[in-house]
Amino acid sequence: MIISKRKSKIIGNTSYHIFMIILSLIMIYPFIWAVMSSFKPVEQLYSGNPLNIIPTEFTLENYKRLMEVLPFDKMLFNSIFLSITIPIAMIIVASLAAYAVTRIEFKGRNILFFAFIATMMIPSHVTLIPNYKIIVDMNLYNSFTAIFLSSMFTASNAFNIFFFRQYFLSIPKDLENAAIVDGCSKIGIFFKIVLPNAKPAIATTAILSFRNVWNSFLWPMLVINDYDKLPLTVGLNYLKGSEPNWAVLLAGATLSIIPIVIIFLVFQKYFMASTMNSGFGGK
């Protein structure tokens, strides 16, 4: 009986792992195909077998062509600048707001928090026109400030507030009470105790915010018309044209995903820790 249960468990585990391996291969295949195809000659890309991943001849011509047709260095700088500065500002605002609704008692605290959550239910496309009109009326069109403000006051930052709140609830209050006895102020407690203990939440928010800003397409396309101010995701769209060179597009797409992969690999440990500790049950 015991042997039978062991065999059933082994068969079950083996079947599960085989299924997960197959599913992983299906999901990762388009990514590998895109990366490898960026090194293929154009002729092989259009005429070759799509299941044939390995190029018959490796070439960097697609990457050279990409640098020739786009101001790639400027667009890359724009994307990096926005993807670093905006997440930093979002983390500061979201963590302060989450600390206020978690640790500071004031009238209407729960109503304010649920108002933050309610914005997550509104599709971003619904507010495109009013947001665009506000940006134009404030003479912020064709500026990074338009992208900055939109990122700060959208559902993505409301999620950051929610995420920080859930993590702050898992931090024992004993540390804060001891600091209060020692005469530490609320803002001092926030910077000296709460934030140092919330490194996993900060790292996770940084990863998600970086990804959202880096992949942002529609809003930057609407509010930026200066070619030298375009982020990389919007700039790659200009490669399509009437007869797009898909090999060059794949080269641009390959370069555009490298920063996200690096950021995730660097902060992966904190990302997993915050996912386990934030406990989306709440209090």
Query: How many whole angstroms separate alpha carbon 90 and alpha carbon 149?
Result: 10
Tell which phi-psi region holds residue 71, choosing left (phi > 0), alpha (psi between -120 and 50) or beta: beta
Tell me the pLDDT band of 274, cut-offs 50, 70 and 90.
low
Helix (H, G, I), strand (E, B) or coil at 231: coil
What mean pLDDT is reported for the chain?
85
pLDDT at 240 over 60: yes
pLDDT in tens, 14-68: 888 999 999 998 988 888 988 998 898 888 877 767 677 888 888 899 999 999 8
Q: What are the tokens at 255?
A: 């370069």
Q: What is the reported pLDDT for 136?
A: 93
pLDDT, tens digit, for every residue of 134-159?
Answer: 999 999 999 999 998 888 777 678 88
Per-residue CA distances from 48 to 33, 36, 249 (Å): 12, 13, 17
User: At 53, phi and psi to the nearest 5?
Assistant: -75, -45
8-state DSSP, 125: G
- Banded model confidence at residue 280, pLDDT cuts 50, 70, 90: very low
Per-residue pLDDT of 243-271, as tens digits, reads 678 888 899 999 998 888 888 888 777 66
Whether 77 has a pLDDT exceeding 90, the answer reads yes
Give the predicted TM-score (pTM) of the model.
0.80
pLDDT band at 13 (very low <50, low <70, confident <90, very high): confident
Angle between helices 72-103 and 199-215 (to 10 degrees): 140
Above 60 in pLDDT, residue 1?
A: no
pLDDT at 79 over 90: yes
Judged against a pLDDT cut of 90, whether residue 223 lies above it is answered with yes
pLDDT digits (tens, 9 = 90+) for 106-130: 888 888 888 888 888 888 788 889 8
Task: Let me know if 280 is exposed, middle or buried by CB neighbors in 10 A (0-12, 13-18, 19+).
Answer: exposed
